Structure 1
C-alpha cells in the first residue's frame, strides 16, 4: 500500500510542477475567463441552457488550483484535483474545445463537479468556500451540475469521464 501512496505522491508532484507553475495556470485562467466573457456576449450564450455552468468554468478551475496548493488538503484528494486540472487544460478530451468552442468545457465542468463533490464528502467544506470566487453558493452549484450531468453531456460520456479518473487515481 505504501508503494501505491508513494507513486501517487510522486505523480502528483510531477503534475503539479507542470500544471501549477503560477504563470501557466494564471495564463490559462485569464484566457478561459476572457473566452467565456466573449462567449457570454454572443447569441450562442443566450440560447444555451448550460450557460451558467460554463460561466463558472474559470472559477471552478481557479478553485481546484487553490485546493491543490493548500497544505491542508490530503494527498489522495490532491491527486484527483490534479487529474481534473490536467483534463481541463488538455486539448484532447471527450468534448474538445477546439471543435466545440466554450461548450466543449461542459465535460470539464462535469468532471470538476464530481471531483469537488467527492472532496466535500471527505473533507471540510470550509476550504472550498474559502477559495470560491464565483457567484452563488459553490455547494449548490456542484449539486446542480451533478444532478444535470446526464442531460448536459450524456450518461455514457459522464461514465467514461469517471472511469478515466478512477483508472488514473486508483
Structure 2
C-alpha cells in the first residue's frame, strides 16, 4: 500500500496543474466562446479518423447499453473518454502550431488507438480493451502538456469533462484500470 502511495505522489510530482489565472484564461467555458480565428477552419478530421471515431463511439454506446441499461460506473466512465482522446490527438497531429516532436507522439497515440495489436486487445476484450489506449493517451498527453501551450490543447478537446482533471484522475487510477504490468509497459514506451 505504501508503494502505491509513493507512486501516486510521483505522479503528482510529474503533474503540473494550472494556476488559477491560466485556468480561468483558458478555461473550457471561455474557449468555446472565443473561437473567431477558429482552428476548425484548418484542422478537420480526415475521413479515416472520422470513421474510426464514429465506430468507436457506437461500440462504446452499445457496450454501455448492454452492460447496465445505460448505467455508467467503474471503468465505463473512462471508456467514454476514448473517442474524445482519439480526436484530440488526431487534431494535434494536424495543428501547425504543434512542434514536430509532439506531432510524432500524437501520431503514435492515434496509431495505437487504431491498431488491433496492443496490450489489451479490443478484439478479445471489447470496449474494455480501450482502457490501455486511454491510459497511454493520457500518459502521452501529460508529457505533451509540458511542450505545448495548454490553450492549444484545450482548443482541440471536445470532451465535456475538464481535460486537466481527466489527466490527473486517469494517471492516479491507471494501475487500477489496466493493472501494474500494463501501466509499467505504457510508461516504458514513453521513456525512450
For the superposition of Structure 1 and Structure 2, which TM-score range results when normalised by the shorter chain? 0.7 to 0.9
Which residue of structure 1 aligns with residue 128 of structure 2?
Answer: 103
Classify the secondary structure of the residue corresponding to 1:122: coil
Alignment pair present for 1:29 and 2:53: yes
Instruction: Quote how far apart the aligned CAs of 1:164 are.
Output: 2.9
Alignment pair present for 1:143 and 2:168: yes
Deviations 1:94-143 (Å, cap 9, x if unpaired)? 10000000000000000000111111122211111111111121111111
Instruction: Quote how far apart the aligned CAs of 1:162 are.
Output: 2.5
Classify the secondary structure of the residue corresponding to 2:167: helix
Work out which of the two has the higher radius of gyration on C-alpha atoms and give 1 or 2.
2
Which residue of structure 2 aligns with residue 134 of structure 1?
Answer: 159
Alignment pair present for 1:38 and 2:69: no
The answer to which structure has the higher helix fraction is 1
Count of paired positions: 148
Partner Cα separation in structure 1 for residue 45 and residue 56 of structure 2: 17
CA contact (8 A) 1:83 1:165 kept: no
Distance 1:47 1:141, change over 3 A: closer
Name the TM-score, length of structure 1 as normaliser: 0.81
Classify the secondary structure of the residue corresponding to 1:135: coil
The runs of 5 or more residues in structure 1 that have no matched partner are 1-19
Instruction: Quote how far apart the aligned CAs of 1:53 are.
Output: 1.1
Partner Cα separation in structure 1 for residue 149 and residue 189 of structure 2: 26
Deviations 1:28-57 (Å, cap 9, x if unpaired)? 011001111111212257475011111111
Which residue of structure 1 aligns with residue 80 of structure 2?
Answer: 55
Which residue of structure 1 aligns with residue 145 of structure 2?
Answer: 120
